[in-house]
Amino acid sequence: MANPPDITVEQFATLLNGRGRLLGLDLGTKTIGLAISDSNWSIASAVKTIRRTKFTADVKEMMEFATSEKVEGFVLGLPLNMDGSEGPRVQSTRAFARNLERHTDLPLIYWDERLSSYTAEQYMLEADLSRKKRAKSIDHAAASIILQGCIDALAEVRDRLKN
């Protein structure tokens, strides 16, 4: 196991040695949205959505992408309820993370994903995307919002450590 995903952003930054591209994951029941950061932790970009089949096939596709992009860590959206409590989707996400850890030594952190899909939808509405394009892009757009939140926090940690 690389690390328990319930770590602080400071601990995550330490595991990353202050650098490296990150892969953001928005885990749904039918899809996994992927977003990637630059190596300087400045910006998250939505990249693709994996249509879920079986765990092994899903992780194989995700890990092939992570390897090709030289990913150093994972940011997994944690679908907390609006009141901060954990429901069945959180349990499912934690199970996915435990299984993922068997396939990689890269560090993994959970990131609160409340309102990420809603925010992504709002951005796409503002961009006047059609309903069809929004449906196709919502998962990796949400992954981008999740990842951006984490890399913004990592940048703050990096700045604090410099001073």
At 1 the pLDDT is: 41
Nearest partner of 86 among 107, 105, 113, judged by Cα = 113
Give CA–CA dist 108/110, Å, rounded: 7
Count Cα atoms within 13 angstroms, Cβ side, for 89: 17
What is the CATH topology of the domain spanning 9-162? Nucleotidyltransferase; domain 5 (3.30.420)
Q: Which two tokens stand for residue 14?
A: 């330490």
Domains in the chain: boundaries? 9-162
pLDDT digits (tens, 9 = 90+) for 51-81: 999 999 999 999 999 999 999 999 999 987 7
At 95 the pLDDT is: 93
**pTM for the predicted model, two decimal places:** 0.82
pLDDT by 10-residue block (mean), the chain, 163 residues: 71 84 93 93 92 94 95 92 78 93 93 66 61 62 89 85 68
